Amino acid sequence: MGFLLWQGVSASARQHPERLAVQDADGSISYAQLERGSDQLATLLGSWGIGRGDRVAILMPKSVRSVITMVGTSKAGAAYVPVDPAAPVARSAFIIGNAAARVLVTNKRLLGALTELMPQLTSVQAILVADLDSADAPAAAVATHTWDAVTATEPRNANRATIEDDPAYILYTSGSTGTPKGVVISHRNALTFVEWGLDVYHPKAEDRFSNHAPLHFDLSVFDIYCALHSGASVHLVPDRLAPFPMELAKWIEEKRISIWYSVPSALIRMLQQGQLERFTYESLRVLNFAGEVFPVKHLRPVMERFSHASFYNLYGPTETNVCTFLEVPRPLPPEITDLSIGHSCANYDCFAVSEDGTRSKLGEEGELVVRGPGVALGYWGLPERTAQSFVQNPLHADFVDLAYRTGDIVTTATDGSFTFLGRRDHMVKTRGYRVELGEIEHVLHQHSAVNAAAVFSVPDEDIGARLWAAVVPEGSLTSEDLVGFCKTRLPHYAIPETFVLVPEMPRTSTGKVDRRALADSLVPTTRSTGTHA
């Protein structure tokens, strides 16, 4: 085994040069083509002076060329930063600037959308427009190249200076202080997870992985690298089909997908609107889900429809990769009403800690703490925030031993498995996306007619949580104004579904906004969850 994420890809290319590696809506590449393309990109980046200690931002809809860019950036020794192509442009620009990316790989449309903000992105010294093949690059203030620059490069050997503790990629997640924060994942962190996947699922070169999650979401790490480390193919779900449950079900059948991984809400939508009974999905042998709780009442019928697949519940915040997992028993015993998140993955030590800092007793609530080589290096450029979450192992002080405090409250069963109960802070999961309520409140507070704002979540069986915002206006303000304001600053999934204008905020005895009281007074016949201060 190599120590770097790209080495397993090169090993597959040596073993299976002619096999299909990556397929997108427009085409596909073999392992030999992936190897050559990523070598060319690495060489090109090297010729621009990009290497170890640098970042390359990838802002475009996922494609074969996104994967070439990820592998090529790794080979150059730099870390890649996948940026959500569906997010508002101001958010994308923040991420590119925050990561101080020296190269931006994007497409023509998104480059156009970024034009006004480009002068602020002073770290970017070169742009590669991946959907242009002509020799004529669009005129821009920064050196701009088309994909021709990649294909015209004579490939040389990969950068040999990188070590396993160097950052491989940075994934940005919602940040409670109002701006996204980057989770820095090293080669070793990522490989710990990928090696676990190879060990559990034994993928073969004949396997066909789907990739449903976007590239800035860590579910995609499994799809891409477990496939490419085993000589299998990875099939990127076309953006055009992803929102349409009937099309998606047909795609799984037609592509003969054997290993699927997505958030439960995508599966629930297929169950409810995808007419799953049309097909048999005989190729589908593994179905992984993660990112949110899968209500058992929906899981049972999904398991019936995908009757050939083994189901796995994977758990883990971006900061740890997947750190616990459960193979769902089939048949699922009728007495099971809530799914556990299972046991620690190989090379992970997960345990629950009580408020007094000692290990929680069996059955008692505690915060899940995770240690091991899969735990991220920290948050990019945020040493204080990093120190709050990546802490000395609370169970001893004998030597330096960092562990990640997940903020997730769990109980431990007698067999060592964990059950997730909720959060100890204001982070919620909606449609599998991680959202800090504080980030939304921060945006609302920037509106000149907002005097005070509080965001709270309402539990929802299908999508995890629905977001509500209560706003005390200052002057004239409508819900429409607020939606319009949020949509240029927040991703779709983080925009509250309901805005309520209130005359004043209820407060707790300590003067904090009482989100629970807000939910109780505003939301009809439901109750709030996990958001009390």
Partner 1 sequence: MHRAGLIKYIQTNLLQDNGAIDADESLIDRGIVDSIGLMQIMQFVETNEGVRIPDHMVTPENFQSVTAIEQMVEKLRAT
Q: Torsion over CA of 457, 529, 215 and 495, rounded to 10 degrees?
A: 0
Tell the smallest beta-carbon distance from residue 243 to partner 1 (Å): 4
Q: Does 296 bind partner 1 (CB under 8 A)?
A: no
Q: Does 156 bind partner 1 (CB under 8 A)?
A: no
Could you tell me the two tokens for 467?
A: 């977001």
Could you tell me the two tokens for 293?
A: 């709780």
Q: Does 239 bind partner 1 (CB under 8 A)?
A: yes
Nearer to partner 1, 132 or 382 (CB): 132
Whether the upstream peptide bond of residue 331 has omega within 30° of 0, thus cis, is: yes
Among 17, 88, 178, 506, binds partner 1 (CB under 8 A): 88
Tell the smallest beta-carbon distance from residue 245 to partner 1 (Å): 7
Q: Does 301 bind partner 1 (CB under 8 A)?
A: no
Q: How many residues does the chain have?
A: 533
Nearer to partner 1, 87 or 428 (CB): 87
Tell the smallest beta-carbon distance from residue 274 to partner 1 (Å): 7
- The H or E element spanning position 9 is helix 7-15
Q: Does 279 bind partner 1 (CB under 8 A)?
A: no
Q: Does 269 bind partner 1 (CB under 8 A)?
A: yes
**Interaction with partner 1 in 302-361: which residues (CB under 8 A)?**
none
Among 53, 138, 243, 329, binds partner 1 (CB under 8 A): 243
From the list 240, 173, 230, 174, the residue with the least C-alpha distance to 198 is 230
Long-range contacts of 479-488 (CB under 8 A, 24+ apart): 481/447, 481/449, 482/444, 482/447, 482/450, 485/443, 485/444, 485/446, 485/447, 486/440, 486/443, 486/444, 487/88, 488/88, 488/90
The Cβ of residue 521 has, within 10 Å, a number of other Cβ atoms equal to 12
Nearer to partner 1, 113 or 326 (CB): 113
Q: Does 120 bind partner 1 (CB under 8 A)?
A: no
Query: At residue 216, what is the residue type?
Result: H
Tell the smallest beta-carbon distance from residue 284 to partner 1 (Å): 21
The CA-atom distances, in angstroms, between 268 and each of 262, 273, 293, 302, 371 are: 11, 8, 12, 8, 32
From the list 500, 505, 504, the residue with the least C-alpha distance to 482 is 500
Contact 516, 528 (CB under 8 A): yes
Choose one: 7-15, 281-289, 486-494, 517-525; the region binding partner 1 (CB under 8 A). Answer: 486-494
Nearer to partner 1, 274 or 366 (CB): 274
Tell the smallest beta-carbon distance from residue 269 to partner 1 (Å): 7
Counting residues that bind partner 1 (by CB under 8 A) gives 29
* Site of interaction with partner 1 (CB under 8 A): 85-89, 109, 113, 239-247, 266, 269, 273-275, 431, 480, 483-484, 487-488, 492-493
